[in-house]
Amino acid sequence: MALDFKDEALLLRLQVGFPLHPRPFRMLGDALGISEQETLERVARLKREGYIRAIRASFDVKRAGAVSTLVAARVEPERVAAVARELNQHPEITHNYERRHRYNLWFTIIADTRERIDELLERTRQLEGVIEAVEVPVVQRFKIAAVFDAQRR
């Protein structure tokens, strides 16, 4: 089903400034001029149709006491899917993309310790088809937002 302007406004408000209030859906509805019940029905539909993956807290990795890094790997093209599958068995690997580049596999690791990251890097380098895996750790963050506005498309 296509999104109407209320769905789009709701999607934005669900991402930024979600009310930390006992009745958040009533508050969201008030802002959009719809009832709590209609708000809940719309959110349920947006979720069912795959627009919303979840509603929850996103933590600051560093402040939560975790260690993270981004890894760029050069993998033999015919081995990319198999290597990705092996890597993805580890819960510490949270994002994993094939990209059109000489470094064709990019993944993030979020682990409890630096040692665990080193261990996963070492395992990556031992996988069949992996030519090279280098780390490009964060020095400074300017933006981490990923708020999507359906109205701006």
Partner 1 sequence: MPNEDEALEPRLLAAAQADLPLTERPFAALGEEFGVREDQLLEALREWLRAGLVRRYGALVSHRKLGYDCNAMVVWQVPPERVAEVGRLFAADPEVTHCYERAPAPGLPYNLYTMIHSQTEDGCRLKAENLARVSGIAGYEMLVSTREFKKESPHYAALRSRDAMKSEA
**Window 29-68: residues binding partner 1 (CB under 8 A):** 36, 40, 43-44, 47, 49-66
Map the footprint of partner 1 across residues 101-140, applying CB under 8 A. Answer: 101-103, 106-107, 110, 112, 132, 134-140
Task: Determine, following the binding rule CB under 8 A, whether residue 15 of this chain makes contact with partner 1.
Answer: yes
| Residue closest to 129 by CA, chosen among 86, 67, 65 | 86
13 vs 119, beta carbon nearer partner 1 = 13
In the sheet with 130-135, reading across from the earlier edge strand, the strands are: 105-111, 67-75, 130-135
96 vs 123, beta carbon nearer partner 1 = 96
Question: What radius of gyration, in Å, describes the C-alpha atoms of the chain?
Answer: 20
Angle at 65 between CA 143 and CA 114, to 5 degrees: 95
Task: Determine, following the binding rule CB under 8 A, whether residue 98 of this chain makes contact with partner 1.
Answer: yes
When binding is defined by CB under 8 A, the residue of 5, 76, 88, 125 that contacts partner 1 is 88
When binding is defined by CB under 8 A, the residue of 5, 35, 95, 122 that contacts partner 1 is 95
- Are 132 and 72 within 8 A, CB to CB? no
One-letter amino acid at 58 equals: S
